[in-house]
Amino acid sequence: MRNILFLCTGNSARSIMAEAYMNHAGAGRWRAFSAGSKPARAPNPFALETLRAHAVPVPGDKAAPRSKSWDEFAGPDAPVMDVVATVCDNAAAEVCPVWPAQDDKAPSTLHWSFPDPAAAEGDDAARRAAFESVFAAIAERIDAFLKENAA
């Protein structure tokens, strides 16, 4: 099983949805995690609602999902990552921690830019539509990634 870490600034929307969808779509082949450089207090409720609407299990297993600092994944006891993917432009521009290497091989890095649905303005319907649009883009990108990395 390979590991992938999705990074964003707040770890409240895009990275949470990417983690959940990858664990759902890549089950048995990929184990996904998510974190942020400046984690929010909790995942965005619209992100969790969007995942549930698509029957995607919410990160956190039986515990409540939480936003996590990327520092949790840079320590010696952290799972070794095969891939680290930023999903927002802010996180891509930040200086990331050095990720533990496996067999002296650093993880591959990817940057997938998605707009921030948490920044959407308007009523709840408009905000839900923004989350739905970003979730669809994340799912499409992950599906393509899984197809390219089927081996």
Domain layout of the chain by residue ranges: 2-148
Bridge partners of 33, per DSSP, are 5
User: Does 31 qualify as catalytic in the annotation?
Assistant: no
**pLDDT per position as a tens digit, 40-67:** 988 999 999 999 999 998 876 566 678 8
Predicted pLDDT at 63: 62
**pLDDT per position as a tens digit, 81-115:** 999 998 976 644 555 555 556 666 778 888 998 99
**Mean predicted lDDT score pLDDT of the chain:** 87
Predicted pLDDT at 76: 78
Among the options 16, 17, 20, 88, which is catalytic? 88
CB 17 within 8 Å of CB 47: yes
Residues 1-17 have a mean pLDDT of 92
User: Does 96 qualify as catalytic in the annotation?
Assistant: yes
Predicted pLDDT at 151: 64
Among the options 8, 92, 118, 138, which is catalytic? 8
- Residue 89 vs residue 118, higher pLDDT: 118
Q: What's domain 2-148's architecture?
A: 3-Layer(aba) Sandwich (3.40)
Gap between the terminal Cα atoms of the chain = 11
- Residue 16 CA to residue 22 CA, distance in Å, equals 10
Predicted pLDDT at 31: 94
Predicted pLDDT at 95: 52
Among the options 80, 96, 129, 146, which is catalytic? 96
Q: How confident is the model at residue 150 (pLDDT cuts 50, 70, 90)?
A: confident
Q: Which two tokens stand for residue 113?
A: 């830019």
- Residue 122 CA to residue 34 CA, distance in Å, equals 27
CB 27 within 8 Å of CB 112: no
